[in-house]
Amino acid sequence: MAVTVALVFAAGMAGAQALPPQAQLPVWATQQLDSLAKREAVEVSARMNPFVLRGDFDGDGKGDLAVLVKNKDSKKEGIAFLFRQKTAPLIVGAGHALSSGGDDFAWLEVWQVEDKGSLQHSYHEKSLKTDGIVVAKEGSASALIYIKGGKAFWQQQGD
């Protein structure tokens, strides 16, 4: 009996298909991305794992998302910040230049959330006021991207 159950389960798993990246996001994020895609021609990019990070990027106490995206027309890659409040999504890269990061984040190989309150050696304030994202190319440059007053800022951390 146990062998039969195992074989049926294995057969069912063999036919299972992975969900597309956007379907793995919460409904509120999917709605924002759908709306954004109509204006900006962007789609979720799953070239990196994880392709989405969670943090409080606008400082309102609610979890927001940073999602890797690619512009369907130009193929330039970037990050879409999706906020839980009524704040409009914000794109960096994917055709939207952000300081030394440029308008194409295809160079991005590593990213992680930098927690609010972290002391920043090169940050112009004493500590990070919201969660941010550290972006890097292995063995090369890294930077902190943070949101302040509804705008994205780039703080170079190393070359």
Domain boundaries, the chain: 19-158
Residue where the block lists tokens 């952000």: 98
pLDDT at 88: 87
pLDDT at 87: 79
pLDDT at 86: 75
Which helix (H) or strand (E) covers residue 66, if one does? strand 64-71
pLDDT digit string, tens, across residues 34-84: 989 889 999 999 999 999 999 999 999 999 999 999 999 999 999 999 999
Beta bridge partners of 70: 43, 77
Alpha helices in the chain (DSSP H): 2-14, 27-40
Q: What is d(CA 90, CA 143) in angstroms, rounded to the nearest whole number?
A: 18
Q: What percent of the chain has pLDDT over 90?
A: 58
Which helix (H) or strand (E) covers residue 154, if one does? strand 151-158
